[in-house]
Structure 1
């Protein structure tokens, strides 16, 4: 693959997405050079792309999607070079995720957890979103919990997801949750949870959960002591704020803001394909979702920090190596946008080009 030289763009470089104005980035499958024009020599055979007035940043990572509800080509053309699928039938989505490692510009890299583990008749067994019934895996005992974790990990699951939503049905007891999480941790896998109410949040925190799949689903204020417990335990939250109903949006933003203020890790996530996050006009679009980024800024993140939540911070949380940064030696998963999204968040939607491992998508 011949080298490509991006010339004149503002580059958001490194883990902190520090802006370098009037920069040059050279890449093939990986990034070969990053710096100011005076610091970088362009190879003679490189394809030069003049990008004045543009910003080059890492390809975006959405930590909460449902890939079987959208053509993956739309996800990558919309700026997502990596996604994590948080719920589908494992015999479908786990092989699908494996294939994503080698399908190039046809779609993003997909990580997947497989099913949403739940109590018999618990959420999402009776949910109305498409695919809910085949996504639910019902557990009856702690031994079954350990067994399914071992099976899913052997099949390539990124981690484990369960649901405890007492608004929608019965929930897993603490003994089963503890076994599920303990077995996952024994196998060095993280556990994420769909959590309905404050009561269930306390239960999953005491069991040692690693992450919330989105902000608390109920329109309830999370007590300050539970916010502190989440932060102290290193629990992360995949945001999925913008699809909330109007009446509980303010509560979700307040919970997210207090979590962020105390040092909690908020990751960019949209729940594309599920619930309010559908192909409808009111739901997130397949690809970068400007409204989710704006919601993160309403929760107190500066635009640059919101972008970090969808790039280097997301890559670190997901355990991805050499992804999520415009850094020498990292994969050339890149996004070129018109404007300056690190200064004005809405510009993140002005996509002009996407590269996955150096290959152009658009």
Structure 2
């Protein structure tokens, strides 16, 4: 195949024919649905979406009497129904709902679609192939942007950005920064102790997590992730459920260590997000300058007031120990999971009571069967929020959270909104967000058009 391709190139075939041949070679690797339904537009003509109910990402009720004009990768302007655009390609949305592409602010691009055993035993090339397929499925669920909360996602992000594979925009954090014995220390007891000049563990070599003890090591590991292209930094400041050796109630990293990571990120004009559950850990992270608390389901009133006073974001996930939850065999993990689930309801109430800027994410990890529930895990939160507010959280509000990356954002501009100048990431759906968000639980049936960067990846209108 390589020889034939080389011969074709050397015979100076036209660029059009060459690209057609390359697309044919890659077609077997694409999902059947995408091949059948997702012709990517090559035209530079303006694109006009008309006849719709528009939810613009603000949380306000959908409105009629508007058209959306797209030029290239951006939304050019919103026009009245009577406006005519010369030479525009028109898509009739048939009176359906048009909304911004969804955003998941706690997604593990490389780790969601594989088991934990595969993550620590399979070749890295295999992991990338699985992740690339899952990235395409993520896009076809309507998620056009994700904030990756830890893992070696840089190569996949580049491939998506260059158009080699379809997938969402990725705000990559790179390897999670963990202390020894912390939530990101996946070594076995038999691996201890490690000499000062000892080799990196397998998980560190893969770029899933990096162990750092002391301010100097934290600085080095954070700076390495920034050099690799991290949009923001993920530090682990407390125990977790999925890990066996760090208790849920443990507090990790000293305030000085956390501050070292924050200062390194700040010097690059970006921020630190931190995994933490307990009041002690939350307050320590905030004092160190962390800008976003991930999880935090065990927060108390004092911690939440501190978030409010410092303008810290709270990235919450629907950890409710229901059918969508991870299944753990270890009794200690199940007990921790139950404690977090009980805290989840309280956390959503506290976030609303104190007006905390709240992002939404799923944190599906090592659970390939659960990735398909991504939209459902948003829809079920209408028990805590009215549907319009919740949909605004997963679009416009999450877009504001992504903007914390500042100068390190790989996609400068507005995400999560349908407005002039924003990225042209849109969905056309059968559903009414004034009633519920159940339509997002079945994206294959209810998402009729999926657009990212002004390119249509699915259209069944």
Structure 1: where are the runs of 5+ without partners?
none
Alignment partner of 1:8 out of 51, 57, 61: 51
Query: How far off its partner does 1:289 sit?
Result: 1.8
Name the structure with the higher strand share: 1
Q: Whose radius of gyration is greater, 1 or 2?
A: 2
Q: Tell me the secondary structure at the aligned position of residue 287 of structure 2.
A: helix
Mean Cα displacement is larger for which, 114-123 or 22-31?
A: 22-31
On the 8 A contact 2:57/2:391 being kept in 1, the answer is no
Corresponding residue for residue 105 of structure 2: 63
Separation in 2 of the partners of 1:271 and 1:340?
26
Query: How far off its partner does 1:33 sit?
Result: 3.4
- Give a deviation string over 1:270-290, Cα, whole Å, max 9, x none: 113x16xx222xx3426x422
Mean Cα displacement is larger for which, 304-313 or 343-352?
A: 343-352
Distance change >3 Å, CA 3–CA 127, structure 1 → 2: farther
Distance change >3 Å, CA 172–CA 327, structure 1 → 2: same
Is 1:232 the equivalent of 2:295? no
Separation in 2 of the partners of 1:64 and 1:203?
21
Separation in 2 of the partners of 1:45 and 1:21?
20
Alignment partner of 2:435 out of 340, 343, 352: 343
Is 1:285 the equivalent of 2:372? yes
Separation in 1 of the partners of 2:89 and 2:348?
45
On the 8 A contact 1:14/1:327 being kept in 2, the answer is no
Is 1:311 the equivalent of 2:395? yes
Alignment partner of 1:77 out of 104, 119, 140: 140
Separation in 2 of the partners of 1:45 and 1:112?
35
Query: How far off its partner does 1:104 sit?
Result: 7.5
Is 1:201 the equivalent of 2:276? no
Distance change >3 Å, CA 247–CA 72, structure 1 → 2: same
Distance change >3 Å, CA 360–CA 335, structure 1 → 2: same
- Equivalences for residues 48-197 of structure 1 within 5 A: 48-52=91-95, 54-69=96-111, 70=113, 71-89=134-152, 93-103=153-163, 106-126=166-186, 134=206, 135-166=208-239, 168-169=245-246, 171-197=252-278
Distance change >3 Å, CA 165–CA 50, structure 1 → 2: closer
Corresponding residue for residue 420 of structure 2: 328
Corresponding residue for residue 298 of structure 1: 383
Distance change >3 Å, CA 45–CA 113, structure 1 → 2: closer
Query: How far off its partner does 1:165 sit?
Result: 2.5
- Give a deviation string over 1:36-82, Cα, whole Å, max 9, x none: 423x3243542332422x11011111111111144210010110111
Distance change >3 Å, CA 215–CA 225, structure 1 → 2: closer
Q: Tell me the secondary structure at the aligned position of residue 107 of structure 1.
A: coil
Instruction: Provide the aligned C-alpha RMSD in A.
Output: 2.5
Separation in 2 of the partners of 1:127 and 1:230?
33
Query: How far off its partner does 1:127 sit?
Result: 8.4
Query: How far off its partner does 1:266 sit?
Result: 1.1
Name the structure with the higher helix share: 2
On the 8 A contact 1:253/1:298 being kept in 2, the answer is no
Separation in 2 of the partners of 1:120 and 1:105?
36
Corresponding residue for residue 360 of structure 1: 456
- Give a deviation string over 1:82-110, Cα, whole Å, max 9, x none: 11111113xxx223223332227711111
On the 8 A contact 1:231/1:259 being kept in 2, the answer is no
Separation in 2 of the partners of 1:213 and 1:291?
17
Separation in 2 of the partners of 1:211 and 1:121?
23
Q: Tell me the secondary structure at the aligned position of residue 230 of structure 1.
A: helix
Query: Aligned pairs, how many?
Result: 343
Corresponding residue for residue 263 of structure 1: 355
On the 8 A contact 2:150/2:174 being kept in 1, the answer is yes
Is 1:241 the equivalent of 2:326? no
Query: How far off its partner does 1:173 sit?
Result: 1.9
Query: How far off its partner does 1:254 sit?
Result: 1.4
Q: Tell me the secondary structure at the aligned position of residue 121 of structure 1.
A: coil
